[in-house]
Amino acid sequence: MQQELTPKQQHLLDYLRRIIDRKGQAPSLRHAAADLGVSHAAVAQGIKALEAKGYIKREGRYSRTVYLLNRAREAAAPHRWREVPIIGQVTAGLPMYAQQEWDGTVVIDGAVFTGDNLFVLQVQGDSMRDAGILNDDLAICQPRQYAENGEIVVALVHNEEATVKRFFRRAKYIELRPENPDYPRMRYRFDEVLVQGKVVGIQRGPNGIK
């Protein structure tokens, strides 16, 4: 159960709620102090008290990422979102050249996808159809340079072609396996494949792209 707030703490919480609702992130200590007419130390102390009483949660001690919590101490739905970059496209069919440029951002649920440095790739092709990954899906990826057998990964082939496939390490080669019988399994030498990330989720449709 959340503890009762003092009038000053309630005033600070109401202020944070207004700013986060409007801008999507908490203000800096400097801006909050100026808006409220108090010192930086007073704002910092108030935020610490709100966190201790279960009304907010910070990602880190000095982070501006603040989540407003509900009575169950879970991030309130409007304040859980986070933006991650879409990095070009990746082919789930024949590999294509891996692009490094950002191609917009997508908003995802920060309570579901909690990893650091997540990135998103737009899938082209239907070779992963039977795993539920379809053409134009947005693959949410956790950066990695390793994989366990059976995991769906983003792999860089020959240092230039990125593809989404199921990963298997064999005794003498790497197998990248599609999830569509119309596509063949691909075998590569160990030095021909670099795992770039694990696919941890899929977002469907264009509405998430900004």
Query: What are 10-44's pLDDT values in tens digits?
Result: 999 999 888 877 776 778 888 889 999 999 899 98
What does the pLDDT read at residue 124? 86
Percent of the chain with pLDDT strictly greater than 70: 78
Catalytic pick among 165, 172, 198, 210 = 165
Distance, CA of 177 to CA of 28 (rounded, Å): 47
Instruction: Give me the phi and psi of 106, to 5 degrees please.
Output: -135, 145
pLDDT category at 89 given cuts 50, 70, 90 is low
127 catalytically annotated:
yes
Distance, CA of 87 to CA of 207 (rounded, Å): 17
28 catalytically annotated:
no
Catalytic pick among 57, 127, 172, 210 = 127
Task: Return the minimum-mean-pLDDT range out of 23-32, 85-94, 138-147, 179-188.
Answer: 85-94
